[in-house]
Amino acid sequence: MASPLPGIHHITAFASDVQRNTDFYTDVLGLRLVKVTVNFDDHSLYHTYFGDWQGTPGSLITFFPVPGALPGRRGGGEAAVTQYATGKGMIGAWQDRLRGAGLEVKDPISRFGDLVLSFEDPDGLSLEIVETAIPDKRAGWAGGPLDPEMSLRGFYGVTLSSLRTDASLALLIEGMGFTEVDRNDERIRLQAEGAEFAGYADLLLDSQPFRSQSAGSVHHVAWRTPDDLRQRFWRERLSFRGIQATQVMDRCYFKSIYFREPGGILYEIATDQPGFAIDEPIESLGGSLKLPAWVEAKRPEIVKGLSRFRSSSGSVFP
């Protein structure tokens, strides 16, 4: 394909409590809080980003914390499981760590030659840690609470639950450049063209009833594209297939287009650039509340509507 989508850029989900969510992803999973801003479409909500030391595309899970939100209902039309990669020989240590944090953790299973550990975050978001048969060469965040060998490298992939499995599969392969690399009775494993990491999409074979999104649900999966030019290519390509993507939206740290694939899952295509260091240095990422320039004048009003929370580095928001 002339302009492949080389894997996941970020995954965005809902949470119900910003402090509990932050504590879990930084203190338990060992990710770095790399950006605190607001939902650009609803300034009454935070938008928090967790990833590696610099917020590399393919490492970022982001949240819209909605205070007091009820749990969502799982089903078709969403990303069912977010998968992280860890270092070789680390699954046992992760099992012990998660159980020590009070989580219910299933015993590891083997899937397509990899060891997989399944659990949920405090809101019920389904997560997996994968120890890959082929070692993941990415480095995790050495400044966090975990040894570098154990730290999460970023995403391994994502499991998708569709309302129309065949149509979702056709779009991924024929429209988005994915290749089928394996399958079993439960799922088809696809890989993004040109992906060095965070490139797997497992499509569940059974269509599921429609879901109800709330806390513990994935809002959307964002796929990577390097720049504006290739993002425009994808918008035109989708239009040729009868899928109408949104206009390009400026998200400050990347530019985005959004579209609903035929199985109901919301996808985004996000640019790698400009990244998260455009408004604060890498060494102090996630240290203060950042607002887009076009709403900065409303900061006093916005701050009044946001819940107070503290990061593991000691920063207090808002």
Tens-binned pLDDT, residue by residue, of the chain (318 aa)? 667 999 999 999 999 999 999 999 999 999 999 999 999 999 999 999 999 999 999 999 999 999 999 999 988 999 999 999 999 999 999 999 999 999 999 899 999 999 999 999 999 999 999 998 887 889 888 889 999 889 999 999 999 999 999 999 999 999 999 999 999 999 999 999 999 999 999 999 987 777 789 999 999 999 999 999 999 999 999 999 999 999 999 999 999 999 999 999 999 999 999 999 999 999 999 999 999 999 999 999 999 999 999 999 999 999
- What is the distance between the alpha carbons of residues 81 and 136, in angstroms, rounded to a whole number? 20
Which residues partner with 119 through β-bridges? 127
- What is the distance between the alpha carbons of residues 165 and 168, in angstroms, rounded to a whole number? 5
- pTM for this prediction: 0.97
Place of tokens 């060095």: 196
DSSP 285: T
Spell out a b/e string for 129-167, using b for 16 or more CB atoms within 10 Å of the CB, else e. bbbbeeebebebbeebebeeebbbbbbbbbbbbbbbbee
In the chain, where are the structural domains located? Answer: 8-317
In terms of CATH architecture, what is 8-317? Answer: Roll (3.10)
- What is the distance between the alpha carbons of residues 236 and 234, in angstroms, rounded to a whole number? 5
CB-based contact 274:254 (threshold 8 Å): yes
- What is the distance between the alpha carbons of residues 31 and 177, in angstroms, rounded to a whole number? 30
- What is the distance between the alpha carbons of residues 248 and 271, in angstroms, rounded to a whole number? 10
